Amino acid sequence: MRILFKQILIQDSRSSFYGKKVDLLASDGKWVEIAPLIQAEADLVVSNSDLQWFPSVVDLRVHNTLPGGEHKEDWASLQAAAWKGGVLDFLLLPTGDPVPQQPEAIHYIANKLTGSGVKCYPAAPLTIGNKAENFSDLMDLHQAGASWFSHGADSLQDTDLMLKCLQYLQPLAAKVISRPDVKGLSLFGQIHEGLQSTLLGLKGIPVLAETMHVKRDLDLLAYVMQHSFGLANPNFSLHFSCISTAESVRLINDAQKAGLPVTADVAIYSLIFTEEAVSDFDTLKKVNPPLRTEADRVALWQGLKDGTIMAVVSDHHPLEVENKELEFDQAAFGTIGLETLALTFIDEANKQGLLKIDSYLSHSAATFLGIQLPELKIGETMKGFVIVPDAYVYSSKDIVSKSKNSLFIGSTIQHRLVGVFNGLTYSYGQ
């Protein structure tokens, strides 16, 4: 199979052709020619004056619904949603029922989508059943291939347990993932504590709920590193997921400057929406962390620009329609996002003047997972996606996920993803 791309703008910042329009020729899933003009026969010719090529997306935050939640998302729909969004590698949180916490379960999940063009990387639970009572078999899980550990989709509230997890894992090439939230402060909260929570009469989730947890975990990390006796693995780190406040950005930036092994990501919705988006009680926009202020949004973008935040994530969280079609204070938190992550981030990043967009969608997250995406050069596997400008209003009809709880429904998206490619596996014209 030969595929020829005509005059396509290269958006892979690692490529010597970055920012240039070239012709690309692939044969049997590998690049065979890159030139200003290619005259060659091909089985598929992709031609449009505004084509753009991006490396495939790596998503560091996808909620696992399996086993037990097949009605919300099964393996087939998860693969389809990821593929449609150009997400060919993603980190799967340990949130199934029961929680995947045996080495055999890690192997099963890691290999479940083999051959589909999509690969998932299972995170392991820090404690058995995510119950914060007894430690998981951390060493066995690590030896089974789990390099990423979290307390389900949340963070350990028990300070002593969190300290011991960091101490135990610091000699390993392990990443401890924390979604910072002091539950005692956010309990019963519905949206960001601020103007909108006052106007709507809803209990707010204060910034303090996040920042106190960030401070605690950073203090624990500093303590562990100070008492590591030089045994800390150079690839060990603490990772904050879905930070949402300006203060969190500042705290993490200060910690990085102090030399602590700490990284962070941000959910796509925190970069685009603010608390005003829930003024009409739209439950699709009920997410956790909640949509914050414009000042927080600006700070998050600055955190991306200065490197404090390494990646943007979907926080893909499938939910039944019954969990959203309720009064606002009864509705569940969460949104799907695999299908829209790339397109919505590209649109907003262009508005923000962000350079090397692919770094935040792909390469930094790939480094976090310990993988390297193929480069755009002769002999390498073609792995990426193609977009064209084509503004449209996103609707539930566009969704292939089993669950339809996307907060982007009703939003105008400026580009359309028309092709996804991973070696011999590809789709074009979706």
Q: Spell out the domain ranges in the chain.
A: 2-53+378-428, 56-369
> Rounded to an integer, what distance in angstroms lies between the CA atom of residue 33 and that of residue 63?
39
CB 394 within 8 A of CB 408: yes
- How do beta strands 30-35 and 21-27 pair? antiparallel
pLDDT of residue 135: 94
Is residue 430 over pLDDT 70? no
pLDDT of residue 210: 98
The residue-averaged pLDDT of 335-341 equals 98
- Phi then psi for 6, rounded to 5 degrees? -105, 125
Please report how many Cα atoms fall inside a 13 Å half-sphere around the Cα of residue 269, on the Cβ side: 30
The correct CATH number of 56-369 out of 1.10.1370.30, 3.30.565.10, 3.40.50.300, 3.20.20.140 is 3.20.20.140
In terms of Cα–Cα distance, which of 239, 238, 184, 181 is closest to 207? 181
Is residue 96 over pLDDT 90? no
Mean pLDDT of the chain: 97
The correct CATH number of 2-53+378-428 out of 2.40.50.100, 3.30.300.180, 2.30.40.10, 1.10.10.60 is 2.30.40.10
Cis peptide leading into residue 67 (ω within 30°): yes
Is the pTM for the entire model greater than 0.95? yes
pLDDT band at 78 (very low <50, low <70, confident <90, very high): very high
CB 393 within 8 A of CB 402: no
Cα distances (angstroms) measured from residue 314 to each of 143, 161, 173, 219: 28, 28, 25, 28
Helix (H, G, I), strand (E, B), or coil: what is residue 7? strand
Kindly tell me the sign of the dihedral angle through the C-alpha atoms of 88, 92, 96, 102: positive
pLDDT tens string 278-305: 999 999 999 999 999 999 999 999 999 9
